C-alpha cells in the first residue's frame, strides 16, 4: 500500500484528528481558517476549535475573483488561471496562520477546503431541460495539499448534487452532529452573503431535520454599500438606520418567484445582485429614492424574507430558539428587524452554544472531512435536500 494511503488510514483510526476547515464565502471578505480538534464522528462528534482567523483578501485578489464571480459571461482563460491560483493562495494563507499560531504543519492531519463558489445554478434556477443541478467551486485541492504538505479534502458540493441535492446548504450535517439538543427546537440561522437555516427538532428525529436557503443575507447590502458609499459593508447597519424603508421597492423585491417556491431551495448572487434591484427601481419609477433608503429597504428585505421562511416552517404551538451566525449577526438593524417579526422565538447567537458565529462555516467543513475519513453511516433518511452521503475529494501531497 502507498505510504499516503497508510497515513490516511492511520488518521482515520486516531482517537482524534486536527483538521483545518476553510471557508471563503460569497461576501469575498477573506478566507476563514478554523483549526479544529475533532473526536468521534456523527452525533458523537466532540469539537474543540483550537484556533480561528479570517485572512483578509487583498483588493487585487478580490477583484480577480469578481471578474468571473456569479457572471453568466466570463473570460474562460481567467477562470482557468484562477482555479490553481486560489488553491495556491489558500495554501499560503494556511501556512501563514500556522506560523502565527506557532504550530508546525506536520501536526495537522487534514485540511478541509470549501473553495470559492464562482457560480451556483440549481435546476430551479437555470430551468434548462435535461441539465442537472450544478454548482462550481474553484481553488484546486491538489495545489493546497502540495503547498502545505497536508492531505486535503476539497470540492464537497459535487457529491451532494450527485446524490440528489442542490449542493447546498451543507451546514445541516455539521449542525445536526454538533448542535442537536433533546427537548429544544433549534433554528440555526446563518447570515452570510446568502442566508440559510437548519431546523433541529427537539425530538432529535433525523427525518424531521430541515434546511434551506432563504434568499439574501448581506449580499445586496454589501453591493450597494460599495457602490454608493465606497465601503465594503454597512457597519453596524448605521446607514440603513439613517434611512427609511421604501414599501413600494420592498414589495417589488419580495414578489420574486423564488420566495413562493417550495422548500428546500438554494440561491446565490447569480439571482440577488445589483441588476435585480436596479431593474425594479426603474420599473417602479423610484429613481429619486435616496441611497440611505435603498440600504434601509435592502436590510428589511433580508430580514423579512428570512423571517417569513422561518414562519412558514414553525408550528404556532411550539417554542423555538434561534441561534444566529455569519456576518449578518453583527448587524443590529437586521437582527432587530428579524426579532420584531418572530416575537415568539428566542433569538440569540450561536456563540452561546460554544462556537463563534464567524467560525461556524469553516468548522462545518472540518466536520464534513472528519465524517468522510473517520465517520460511519450518515442516516438522514432519503428525502429532498439532505442526501445521506459523505463528501469531498482527497488530494495527497506526495
Ligand atoms: N459589524 C458589522 N455590521 C454589519 N454587517 C457586518 C458586520 N460584520 C460583518 N458584516 C456583514 O457580514 C458579511 C460577511 O459575512 P460572512 O463572512 O458570514 O459571509 P460569507 O461567509 O462570505 O457568505 P456566505 O455564507 O453566503 O458564503 C460582510 O460582508 C458584511 O456584510
Ligand atoms: C453554493 C454556495 O456556495 N452556497 C453557500 C452560500 O453561502 C450561504 C448559502 O449560500 C449556503 O447555501 C452555502 O454555504 C453554506 C456553507 C452551506 O452550504 O451550508
* Residue 71 pLDDT grade (very low, low, confident, very high; cuts 50, 70, 90): very high
Ligand lying closest to the C-alpha of residue 171: 2
Q: Specify whether 320 is located in the same domain as 181.
A: yes
Hunting for cell 504543519 — which residue is that? 105
Q: Specify whether 277 is located in the same domain as 329.
A: yes
Q: Specify whether 131 is located in the same domain as 275.
A: no
pLDDT above 80: residue 40: yes
Q: Please enumerate in sequence order all residues whose Cβ is within 8 A of that of 14, keeping only pairs 6 or more positions apart, or say none.
A: 109, 374
Domain span at residue 90 reads: 3-170+359-395
Q: Specify whether 204 is located in the same domain as 295.
A: yes
Q: Specify whether 131 is located in the same domain as 252.
A: no
**What strands lie across the sheet with 194-200, from one edge to the other?**
210-216, 194-200, 185-191, 320-325, 345-349
Q: Specify whether 260 is located in the same domain as 112.
A: no
Nearest CA to ligand 1 atom 14: 327
Q: Please enumerate in sequence order all residues whose Cβ is within 8 A of that of 331, keeping only pairs 6 or more positions apart, or say none.
A: 191, 218, 221, 234, 236, 237, 299
Q: Please enumerate in sequence order all residues whose Cβ is within 8 A of that of 44, keeping only pairs 6 or more positions apart, or say none.
A: none
pLDDT above 90: residue 387: no
* Residue 73 pLDDT grade (very low, low, confident, very high; cuts 50, 70, 90): very high
* Residue 106 pLDDT grade (very low, low, confident, very high; cuts 50, 70, 90): very high
Nearest CA to ligand 2 atom 10: 194
Q: Specify whether 166 is located in the same domain as 29.
A: yes
Question: What is the pLDDT at residue 382?
Answer: 62
Choose the weakest-confidence range: 108-117, 146-155, 198-207.
Answer: 198-207
Question: What is the pLDDT at residue 386?
Answer: 82
Q: Specify whether 363 is located in the same domain as 225.
A: no
Q: How far is CA 165 from CA 73, 117, 260, 388, in A?
A: 26, 16, 20, 10
**Is ligand 2 within 6 A of the CB of residue 26?**
yes
Q: Specify whether 55 is located in the same domain as 194.
A: no
Average pLDDT of the residues of the chain: 96
**3-state SS of the chain?**
CCHHHHHHHHHHHCCEEEEEEEEECCCCCEEEEEEEEEECCHHHCEEEEEEEEEEECCHHHHHHHHCCCCCCCCCHHHHHHHHHHHHHHHHHHHHHHHHHHCCCHHHCCEEEEEEEEEEEECHHHHCCCCCCCEEEEECCHHHHHHHHCCCEEECCHHHHHHCCCCCCCCHHHHHHHHHCCCCCEEEEEEECCEEEEEEECCCCCHHHCEEEEEEECCHHHHHHHHHHHCCCCCHHHHHHHHCCCCHHHHHHHHCCHHHCCCCCCCCCCCCCCHHHHHHHHHHCCCCCCCHHHHHHHHHHHHHHHHHHHHHHHCCCCCCEEEEEECHHHHCHHHHHHHHHHCCCEEEEEHHHHCCCCCCHHHHHHHHHHHHHHHCCCCCCCCCCCCCCCCCCEEECCC
* Residue 99 pLDDT grade (very low, low, confident, very high; cuts 50, 70, 90): very high
Over the stretch 208-258, which tens digit does the pLDDT of each residue have?
898 999 999 999 999 999 999 999 999 999 999 999 999 999 999 999 999
Q: Can you tell me the mean pLDDT for 172-186?
A: 95
Q: Which residues line ligand 1 (CB under 6 A)?
A: 25-27, 29, 192-194, 217-218, 221-222, 233-237, 326-328, 330-331, 361
Q: Can you tell me the mean pLDDT for 192-217?
A: 94
How far apart CA 253 and CA 79 sit, in angstroms, is: 31
Share of the chain above pLDDT 90, in %: 92
CATH code of 88's domain: 3.30.420.40
Pocket-testing residue among 21, 24, 25, ligand 2, by greatest number of atoms within 8 A of Cβ: 25
**Is ligand 2 within 6 A of the CB of residue 169?**
yes
Q: Specify whether 373 is located in the same domain as 349.
A: no
**Cross-strand pairs, 189:** 197, 324
pLDDT above 90: residue 378: no
Q: Specify whether 84 is located in the same domain as 204.
A: no
* Residue 1 pLDDT grade (very low, low, confident, very high; cuts 50, 70, 90): confident
Complex prediction ipTM: 0.97
Question: What is the pLDDT at residue 392?
Answer: 97
Residue 40 is assigned to a ligand binding site:
no
| Cα-to-centroid distance, 328 and ligand 1 (Å) | 5
Q: What is the pairing mode between strands 30-39 and 46-56?
A: antiparallel
Share of the chain above pLDDT 70, in %: 98
Residue 63 is assigned to a ligand binding site:
no
Question: What is the pLDDT at residue 388?
Answer: 80
Q: Specify whether 347 is located in the same domain as 379.
A: no
Choose the weakest-confidence range: 68-77, 104-113, 308-317, 324-333.
Answer: 308-317
Report the domain count for the chain. Answer: 2
- Grid coordinates of 11: 488518521
Over the stretch 129-160, which tens digit does the pLDDT of each residue have?
999 999 999 999 999 999 999 999 999 999 99
Q: Can you tell me the mean pLDDT for 317-329?
A: 95
Amino acid at each position: 500500500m502507498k505510504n499516503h494511503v497508510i497515513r490516511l488510514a492511520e488518521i482515520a483510526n486516531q482517537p482524534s484528528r486536527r483538521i483545518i476547515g476553510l471557508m471563503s464565502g460569497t461576501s469575498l471578505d477573506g478566507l476563514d481558517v478554523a483549526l479544529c480538534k475533532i473526536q468521534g464522528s456523527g452525533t458523537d462528534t466532540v469539537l474543540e476549535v483550537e484556533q480561528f482567523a479570517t485572512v483578509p483578501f487583498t483588493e487585487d485578489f478580490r477583484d480577480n475573483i469578481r471578474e468571473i464571480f456569479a457572471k453568466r459571461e466570463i473570460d474562460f482563460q481567467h477562470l482557468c488561471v484562477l482555479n490553481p491560483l486560489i488553491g495556491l493562495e489558500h495554501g499560503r494563507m494556511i501556512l501563514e496562520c500556522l506560523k502565527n499560531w506557532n504550530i508546525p504543519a506536520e501536526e495537522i492531519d487534514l485540511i478541509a477546503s470549501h473553495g470559492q463558489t464562482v457560480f451556483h445554478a440549481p435546476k430551479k434556477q437555470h430551468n434548462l431541460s435535461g441539465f442537472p443541478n450544478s454548482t462550481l467551486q474553484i481553488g484546486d485541492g491538489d495545489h493546497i495539499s502540495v503547498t502545505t504538505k497536508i492531505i486535503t479534502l476539497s470540492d464537497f458540493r459535487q457529491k451532494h448534487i450527485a446524490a440528489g441535492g442542490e449542493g447546498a446548504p451543507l451546514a445541516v450535517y455539521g449542525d445536526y452532529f454538533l448542535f442537536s439538543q433533546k427537548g429544544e427546537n433549534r433554528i440555526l440561522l446563518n447570515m452570510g452573503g446568502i442566508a440559510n437555516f437548519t431546523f433541529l427538532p427537539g425530538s432529535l428525529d433525523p427525518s424531521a431535520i430541515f434546511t434551506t436557503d432563504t434568499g439574501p443575507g448581506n449580499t445586496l447590502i454589501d453591493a450597494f454599500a460599495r457602490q454608493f458609499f465606497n465601503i465594503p459593508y454597512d457597519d453596524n447597519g448605521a446607514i440603513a438606520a439613517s434611512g427609511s424603508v421604501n414599501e413600494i421597492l420592498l414589495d417589488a423585491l419580495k414578489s420574486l418567484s423564488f420566495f413562493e417556491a417550495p422548500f428546500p431551495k438554494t440561491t446565490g448572487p447569480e439571482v440577488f445582485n445589483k441588476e435585480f434591484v436596479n431593474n425594479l427601481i426603474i420599473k417602479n419609477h423610484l429613481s429619486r429614492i435616496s441611497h440611505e433608503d435603498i440600504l434601509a429597504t435592502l436590510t428589511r428585505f433580508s430580514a423579512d424574507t428570512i423571517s417569513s421562511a422561518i414562519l412558514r416552517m414553525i408550528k404556532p404551538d411550539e417554542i423555538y430558539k434561534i441561534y444566529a451566525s455569519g456576518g449578518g449577526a453583527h448587524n443590529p438593524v437586521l437582527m432587530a428587524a428579524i426579532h420584531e417579526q418572530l416575537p415568539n422565538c428566542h433569538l440569540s447567537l450561536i456563540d452561546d452554544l460554544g462556537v463563534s458565529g464567524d467560525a461556524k462555516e469553516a468548522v462545518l467543513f472540518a466536520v464534513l472531512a472528519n465524517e468522510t475519513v473517520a465517520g460511519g453511516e450518515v442516516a438522514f433518511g432519503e428525502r429532498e435536500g439532505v442526501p445521506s452521503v459523505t463528501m469531498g475529494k482527497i488530494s495527497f501531497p506526495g
